[in-house]
Chains A and B, each alone.
Chain A
């Protein structure tokens, strides 16, 4: 179902938070939407891309978040409303532009939807983006429900125009990826006419104008605060003089209200739910704070709201001695994701109530059973994943080389190279493109006696996003490293979004591709290409490159993601294990294929003491045939 179907205003749909944000942007009449994919934010742009033609939008997957932000701002400067979306890590990439944009301001409604990932469910960190709004003096909105995600996204464009600046909407995984009932509004039919007024003062801040523009931001904050005082996104529920006042925002709202209901504390606990969390609506908050002596702050990740409330309390006249409960008091951890149970226990503690979620005997029994019988299901490369075979070749080449080669890594599916299915080859993983920068640096340590080979794995989408400058750095500094470009034809980790190396764009139109080999030639970098499924060939090429030292070299290991291919084509081979040949644990390899190679399509059958193919899982890549030392695995054309 499309978010524009059943279009009539007042119809309801079960929308994911990200779809609701997209719908809100459509109701606000946006013309442009840009992002770099990153969970939990990806569905915002995906949803808009699907209706781009129908709603006359321009939607793009930009090369990285900074460019995405710039593309969106360009539309705003030229009279067209625009939405930019990213995950928390992406905000850091965009921050350089953003920390100047706040000073120059914008024109048409410009909204940045940033989706944080508390608990790092699909991330490398759980950074709290809200600090950026405060640091840059920009308005911040935090939706608590799918309905609010839609309504806030829409309203954020009006606020942005009111203050002629960008507005930040912060979501979290449990909002972005939760579905709730949303009452739709009207989709406007506005004529969009892009025009940049060259007679206005430039969008620029430099030297002595910067402090003046900075001052304007503070004036803006005062105005935003006034607007926030009567915002429908803030509300209070509870008795007039609560024994405990919960102040919460975002996903904390549902957990708080559930905690109060489960503890039957409706008559003693009040909840002030804030949707506008920077700047704070001070008068509203003061009014409620003065009705109580105990305050519990419930929010995801950092004590952002908590700290700001304490700041407010310190300046309050008349002051009152409040007891604050939350992250600082240890009632709610300042790390990991919030859960209803964390909040229930925090409320119970603050009220001196006893709470046990389950009968202790049952609880203990259930924990014992899970521990005893339920096996772990950790992250792994999929069956037929070309990354597995590339890591296999890397492992072999480094063993043959024997000089303790160091492999730096990056963010993407291939980050799982730190674990067992990537044979523990990856030794560093940080930001997008960081593997290449680290390799560039490590490749210059020879003057201090460093003599280990340096290699770096980088995905195709990551290469365009942030690795190109690091590669150029390595060329110019004559750094000694190999960049292994793992080209699986898409941004696989986040759902196969296209990138500049793919001949199709977000809206499904044909687009010119950037040819990495030609780019390497232009940089005078030696480049070779290998088929990731050709373990022998890849190992040989890599081994050859390890010997050819002195400058950056690039090996492109190419093979389409097995999941993308399987959607389109039959398996390459029908693979089976010849049980007469397979000698299982008796093999000198000691069940090499399952124990070491670890493709989930290969299953160790304890009863027969042999390996077999898991037919529902095997994608028919046939690579394991080349791995088995007994030649017991057979592939036939499917």
Chain B
């Protein structure tokens, strides 16, 4: 049985408030509802506008609705917009069977910016994620988005990356029609561009 048929398929989308976490969890969720699947999205964004950790739990099933929180050890896929947030969520909800697709650009917490704490080196993060997961993809999504002149679309690049890695029951066409229904004109063009760059991005 491939991961995409797993029942339920448990996805966690994580990042920092302001990175557009909630938006992509809603778009991914709605695309799957449109494809006739049952979806629940549980969002934690109490502090999302204030640089806090944000996580959306997305639960996908053919016919059953699941609860808004994934039990410990039951995350199948983690989509991370920020590397230490990916590691944090993997540590809480992961297992040796979990797949991780993460952006590699750090968003420093205040404790690091103030010099009170240290941010781990990217190599350390990768090593830890590799040790705790089945397989991981590392994407320089912020760089790709920046090159497109749209740093805020890092989230769309990452959606492209996870669909490109074939970890979700979601195709390029399905997600693109969701984008077409949600954005207009220039904004749509940029979102589509970022998404497509993500589809083919590899570490």
A residues lining the B interface (CB < 8 Å): 1, 12-14, 39, 121-122, 145, 174-175, 177-181, 251, 253-255, 257-258, 262, 339-341, 344, 357-359, 362-363, 365-367, 369-370, 373-382, 413, 421, 563, 591, 594-595, 598, 600, 602-604, 606, 614, 616
Contact = CB atoms under 8 A, between A and B. Distances in A.
A265 to B, nearest CB: 15
B18 to A, nearest CB: 9
Contacts of A251: 67-68
A161 to B, nearest CB: 31
A588 B153 CA distance: 41
Contacts of A359: 95-96
If over half of B's interface residues share one DSSP class (helix, strand or loop), that class is named, otherwise mixed; here it is: mixed
A358 B46 contact: no
A369 B131 contact: yes
9 contacts: A14-B26, A178-B68, A362-B96, A363-B73, A366-B91, A370-B88, A378-B109, A563-B49, A594-B115
B174 interface: no
Nearest to B38: A181
Interface stretch (B116-124, B160-168, B188-196): B116-124
If over half of A's interface residues share one DSSP class (helix, strand or loop), that class is named, otherwise mixed; here it is: mixed
Contact of A14 (B16, B30, B131): B30
Nearest to B182: A1
Contacts of B120: 373-374
A369 to B, nearest CB: 5
Contacts of A591: 115
A604 B113 contact: yes
Nearest to A367: B91
Given A145-B65, A376-B111, A178 B40 contact: yes
A365 B131 contact: yes
Interface in B38-81: 38-47, 49-53, 65-74
Contact of A373 (B40, B72, B108, B125): B125
Contacts of B108: 600, 603, 614
B199 interface: no
Contact of B132 (A14, A122, A258, A365): A365
Interface of B: 16, 26, 29-30, 33, 38-47, 49-53, 65-74, 84-85, 87-88, 90-92, 94-96, 107-120, 124-125, 128, 131-132, 151, 181-182
A397 B112 CA distance: 29
Given A122-B47, A366-B132, A377-B16, A181 B114 contact: no
A594 B113 CA distance: 7
Contact of B114 (A121, A595, A616): A595
The CB with the most chain B CB atoms within 10 A, among A121, A375, A603, is that of A375
Nearest to B27: A14
Contact of A374 (B38, B51, B67, B88): B88
Contact of B128 (A122, A369, A380, A616): A369
A208 to B, nearest CB: 48
Nearest to B42: A178
Given A357-B71, A376-B109, 6 more contacts: A14-B29, A121-B44, A178-B68, A179-B42, A181-B33, A373-B87
Contacts of B74: 357
The CB with the most chain B CB atoms within 10 A, among A39, A178, A374, is that of A374
Contacts of B33: 12-14, 181
Nearest to A122: B46
Given A255-B67, A357-B73, A375 B119 contact: yes
A379 B72 contact: no
A375 B84 contact: yes
Given A1-B182, A174-B69, A376-B109, A595 B115 contact: yes
**Shortest 5 CB-CB contacts between residues of A and residues of B:** A254-B67, A370-B91, A604-B115, A178-B68, A122-B46
A600 B115 contact: no
Given A340-B67, A374-B84, A382-B51, A179 B95 contact: no
Contact of A594 (B49, B114, B181): B114
A262 B119 CA distance: 37
Nearest to A496: B49
Contacts of A376: 109, 111, 117
A602 B41 contact: no
A379 B50 contact: yes
Nearest to B88: A374
B124 to A, nearest CB: 6
A174 B42 contact: yes
A614 B132 contact: no
Contacts of B117: 375-376
A377 B43 contact: no
The CB with the most chain B CB atoms within 10 A, among A122, A177, A373, is that of A373
A220 to B, nearest CB: 34
B111 A375 contact: yes
Contacts of B113: 594, 600, 602-604, 614
A262 B95 CA distance: 16
A563 B50 CA distance: 10
B115 A606 contact: yes
Contacts of B131: 365, 369
Contact of B71 (A253, A257, A258): A258
Given A177-B42, A377-B109, A378-B110, A362 B53 contact: no
Contact of B87 (A180, A370, A594): A370
A598 B110 contact: yes
The CB with the most chain A CB atoms within 10 A, among B49, B90, B118, is that of B49
